[in-house]
Amino acid sequence: MAYIQPRKDKDGNIISYSVRVFKGYAPDGSQLKPYTASFKPDPNKTDRQNEKALNKFAVDFEEKCRSGLVADSRQTFAEYAEYVIGLKERAGAKHKTILSYRSFMPLTVESIGHLKLAEIRPQHLNNFYETLSKNGIRRTQGRATAKRDIKAMLKQRGLTIKKAAELAGVGNNTLSTVCNGGNIAESKAQTIANLLEMPMSKLFNIKRDNTPLSNKTILEYHHFISVVLEQADKEMLIPFNPARKATPPKQKPHTANYFQIEDVERIRDCLELEPLKWRTFVHLLLISGARRGEIAGLKWDVIDWRNSRIHIQNNLLYAPDRGIYEEATKTEESDRFVTLPAETMELLKEYRKWYLVQASNYGDQWHNTNYLFFQEKTGNAGKPMHPDTINGYLDRFSERYHLPHINPHAFRHTMASVLYFNKVDSISISKRLGHSKVSTTTDIYSHIMKEADKQSAECIANVILRPKTDPCEKKQNKTKNLPHTLSPHLSLFLSFFHHTDKFHVRKNRYLFQKFFCIKPQTLPSGFLPP
């Protein structure tokens, strides 16, 4: 029931009424702020008339609150978005998803964060999307490149790269990068400038990305806003989700890049010259079609040696706040078994022997995590490798052998293309890739399916419409070689009727030609009954 409280002026006269409706409790047990509304009496009406109008207002307001037609007037989008992110995190959303939501908050709050939930309209969202498509919208840090010889400056001060990195509070790799002419984050460049006691502007060139956000990124913002407002709709804080009626930009269809077969053969041949660990890793990427993190997350106990398959059930990821961590696969359908050919299983057996030797050599310094692919650095030996290490290796590998640019996902697309070109159905391909829906597979690989269909058409034409030899020439050849090509069934048939008068080949030309596609007059002498 609605709670009614009068509001009085300093003289004690009632100027309005506050109407409150109980909302409930938060997940932590605390009471939520109630729905509130104000009623102002009409001075032209009697007290009894105003009382009757107030009671009707309170009943109608409570009914609207219970039916979800009244939003919480005290909640802005910014406040509610924080609540929804926390709600999704407690519900078990992927850590990467939560980080993504939080990364969208600054620009979103800047644009619509001050708006109350009930005030948000599709036009507000469309204006926000338009803003995101303009130059200079990015809030990312700039990249810094040294103007001067940092390495020489450190040497003058008697500092090694390791010591300087320790004093500045940055990684050794960061300082090595900037000393070798590479670019680093603006914030890290500032710490190095502070260490060298020089102004940032004299020590570094700063380059910022002023390009607008892509349609893909804007759609990700739209998805985040939609998630927040959809929750508000579920909790009956708003009458509808305005994001459903907004008009975000359209995304261009994603084209999956894959290697041509000659590139795959080159990569395969060059891999034979590489260390066994990387040879095995890249081999699995190509043959299994698994994602980078899925291969990095493989453990020895997921290999089914008897049935020649692996169980993909984990994904290895990295986040700044967590470091390297393991979580379940992207979707439930991504948890799957992938059958491997005999060659791959033999390679895994060879790699297993090498793995055990390495574990033995490290002795007490070995971390027995059971991951197939591990760090070899002293102190971290046996621990799972950083997912970005894979991309770094593939970059160096492609440069070393003058190969086309290689990224892990290209192997996944290549496997899918091989299956499509060999007439494997979309359902089987979708299951091997671990897609949640077959439509996802067909959407991603639609251009490959079209190309495969063209090849199918050419194959049919080559067989049916484009004979390689002249028909007359083919008939002559068939007649000439008939004694050597008679089918066993035809020979048996002729021998059976050789001793009976019930069937006369020459008198039954139609039947003989229909069943054996051979004209009786073309048969050589000795093959007909007397």
Kindly state the tokens that stand for 526: 């000795």
Strands 336-339 and 323-328: unpaired
Please return the burial class of 381, using the count of CB atoms within 10 Å of its CB with bins 0-12, 13-18 and 19+: middle
Contact 292, 410 (CB under 8 A): no
- Domain span at residue 82 reads 77-137+213-245
Residue 454 in domain: no
- Tell me the pLDDT tens digit for each residue of 284-306: 998 998 889 999 999 999 999 99
Quick one: average pLDDT of 33-39?
Answer: 82
- The Cα 386–Cα 379 span in angstroms is 15
Same domain? For 153 and 237 the reply is: no
Same domain? For 398 and 278 the reply is: yes
Full-model pTM: 0.61
Whether the pLDDT of residue 177 is over 70: the answer is: yes
Position 52 scores a pLDDT of 92
Residue 482 in domain: yes
- Rounded to 5 degrees, what are φ and ψ at 318? -135, 135
Residue 448 in domain: no
Angle between helices 276-288 and 342-362 (to 10 degrees): 140
Whether the pLDDT of residue 201 is over 50: the answer is: yes
DSSP 3-state of 121: coil
- The Cα 370–Cα 348 span in angstroms is 14
Residues 21, 25, 31, 34, Cα dihedral to 10°: -20
Kindly state the tokens that stand for 60: 């109608």
Which secondary-structure segment (H or E) carries 303?
strand 303-304
Least confident of 140-144, 237-241, 485-489: 485-489
Look up the CATH number of the domain holding residue 381.
1.10.443.10
Same domain? For 324 and 354 the reply is: yes
Same domain? For 223 and 297 the reply is: no
- The Cα 136–Cα 111 span in angstroms is 15
Same domain? For 234 and 120 the reply is: yes
Give which of 379, 376, 413, 388 is closest to 319, Cα–Cα: 388
According to DSSP, the residues that pair with 143 across neighbouring strands are: 185, 207
Position 519 scores a pLDDT of 55
Contact 146, 204 (CB under 8 A): yes
Same domain? For 288 and 380 the reply is: yes
Same domain? For 192 and 95 the reply is: no
Quick one: average pLDDT of 358-375?
Answer: 93
Whether the pLDDT of residue 122 is over 90: the answer is: yes
Q: Residues of 417-431 as b/e, b for ≥16 C-beta within 10 angstroms?
A: bbbbeeeeebeebbe
Amino acid code (one letter) for 157: R
Residue 458 in domain: no
Quick one: average pLDDT of 457-461?
Answer: 65
Contact 302, 294 (CB under 8 A): no
Instruction: Sort residue 24 into left (φ over 0), alpha (ψ -120 to 50) or beta.
Output: left
Whether the pLDDT of residue 355 is over 80: the answer is: yes
Residue 309 in domain: yes
Give which of 109, 57, 99, 39 is closest to 79, Cα–Cα: 109
- The Cα 22–Cα 286 span in angstroms is 59
Whether the pLDDT of residue 476 is over 80: the answer is: no
Residue with tokens 């939520």: 32
- Rounded to 5 degrees, what are φ and ψ at 185? -65, 145
Name residues whose C-beta falls within 8 Å of residue 188's C-beta, 6 or more positions apart in sequence: 144, 170, 174
Same domain? For 302 and 352 the reply is: yes
Position 27 scores a pLDDT of 55
Least confident of 2-11, 201-210, 308-317, 450-459: 450-459
Kindly state the tokens that stand for 340: 């491997």
CA distances from residue 253 to 219, 317, 430, 440, 446 in whole angstroms, order as listed: 13, 27, 18, 12, 10
DSSP 217-238: HHHHHHHHHHHHHHHHHHTTSS
Distance, CA of 332 to chain centre: 14
Contact 503, 496 (CB under 8 A): no
Look up the CATH number of the domain holding residue 110.
1.10.150.130
Same domain? For 396 and 268 the reply is: yes
Look up the CATH number of the domain holding residue 147.
1.10.260.40
Whether the pLDDT of residue 366 is over 90: the answer is: yes
Q: Residues of 39-57 as b/e, b for ≥16 C-beta within 10 angstroms?
A: bebeeeeeeeebeeebeeb
Whether the pLDDT of residue 222 is over 80: the answer is: yes
Amino acid code (one letter) for 349: K
Residue 52 in domain: yes
Same domain? For 327 and 476 the reply is: no
Q: How many CB atoms lie within 10 A of CB 456?
A: 12
Angle between helices 276-288 and 408-421 (to 10 degrees): 40
Percentage of the chain exceeding pLDDT 90: 31
Give which of 508, 434, 518 is closest to 479, Cα–Cα: 518
Same domain? For 172 and 279 the reply is: no
- The Cα 438–Cα 445 span in angstroms is 11
Domain count for the chain: 5
Position 486 scores a pLDDT of 47
Residue 339 in domain: yes
Same domain? For 328 and 241 the reply is: no
Kindly state the tokens that stand for 48: 């009894």
